[in-house]
Amino acid sequence: MKEYLFTSESVSEGHPDKVADRISDEIVDLYLGADPEARVAAETLVTTNRIIIAGEVRGPETITTDDIERVARNAVKEIGYEQEGFHWKESAFECYLHEQSAHIAQGVDASGNKDEGAGDQGIMFGYACDETENLMPAPIDFSHRILRSLADARHSGESPCLEPDSKSQVTLKYVDGRPVGATSVVVSTQHTEGTSQDDLRELVRKHVTGVLPDGWMCPEDEFYVNPTGNFVIGGPDGDAGLTGRKIIVDTYGGAAPHGGGAFSGKDPTKVDRSAAYISRYLAKNVVAAGLTSNCTIQLSYAIGISKPLSVYVDMWGNTEVDPVRVSKVLQELVDLSPRGIREHLGLNKPIYARTAAYGHFGRTPDADGGFAWERTDLVETLKSEFGNK
């Protein structure tokens, strides 16, 4: 279509599902910090003054239930929950983590001449486009940034009326495939009792206009702040939260396919996570090298098998570069076995709690290896290989 509207949403670190994601990823970091080869599949449920963890692990016996409870409560405290209905200190805690299935371990572990296999079957997608500096789709990027701006104001004490739970939604108009402005913006944010809705609207406006490019703000009658009215009861007290329920928020806001698997709570032998990261890494480098303005990459795996079953590259109609050749070159540059992915990106580190909110992609690589999949260190090689064509 020559002109169309596209919408993406984000949720804050205090959204119930994101609280669950954060706790699950804190457990991943706890185990990987003690043993880089630990295995973790941790699921979290949060509801009114209750935190429940279940799943399976394989790691040092020195890690106790008390350690798990400590990191879970600290995560809730850092997010900012000290409310009557959900409090980091007062919530009941239950832990049902147990040893990893031996039948799964035998398929995944390396032994003899067998390399480490994928932790499960599945398909994973990576995507990049040149709509923003971080090569992310603009609607999801703006949605994340609005909520991060609000969270920064809350944590700093600049806006004490804000509470942790919030959601955003940005609709952009596209002309000839490029975003040109917002047609509507929705922000719902939890707040303290007695906060004026008019004051809240103006507070939120400042953060929205601070994120959108100049001249992109939507019409006034399409700017919605807490459209249902008061939003005092929120977080896990207002709605139960579960790990892995915000996979589109975690990725590309619906602008690209998702394989179906969640990320949080999983160690990097699970290709749901690691292969989605390497797919983004490859797609981002392809776009950053100027080979195309949009790139989608799909990988597929079978449990216990080390090599990918398929490596599909979609250049979104760019006829100047052969996607089959791109696929071949990328596989020569990066070992796409589970072990190869982890080693290339350095994933066996406690770097995952920071990914639990505001998206796993479009972030700045950290000095300690966090968000390594956002590096663009293949660009010069790809430019040389393809002559920037």
The residues assigned a catalytic role are: 15, 17-18, 43, 56, 167, 231, 239-240, 245-246, 266, 270, 272
For the annotated binding site, the residues are 15, 17, 43, 56, 100, 165-167, 239, 245-246, 262, 266, 270
Strand, coil or helix: 31 = helix
Based on the number of CB atoms within 10 Å of its own CB, is 229 exposed (0-12), middle (13-18) or buried (19 or more)?
exposed
- Inter-residue contact 149 to 189 (CB < 8 Å): no
Strand boundaries in 264-359, DSSP class E: 294-301, 310-314
CA dihedral of 233, 236, 240, 243, whole degrees rounded to 10: 150
For the annotated binding site for K(+), the residues are 43
- The two beta strands, 50-58 and 39-47, are antiparallel
Which tokens go with 319? 């006829």
d(CA 45, CA 173): 37
371: alpha, beta or left? (left if phi > 0; alpha if psi -120 to 50): left
Strand, coil or helix: 204 = helix
d(CA 263, CA 355): 9
Measured CA distances, 372 to 113, 224, 261, 369, 383 (Å):
30, 36, 20, 5, 21
For the annotated binding site for Mg(2+), the residues are 17
Q: What is the DSSP letter of 365?
A: P
d(CA 290, CA 288): 5
Q: What is the DSSP letter of 114?
A: B
- Inter-residue contact 11 to 242 (CB < 8 Å): no
CA atoms within 13 A on the CB side of 291: 32
DSSP assignment of 209-244 equals HHHSPTT-PPPGGGEEESTTS---S-HHHHS-EETT
For the annotated binding site for L-methionine, the residues are 56, 100, 239, 270
- Inter-residue contact 304 to 117 (CB < 8 Å): yes
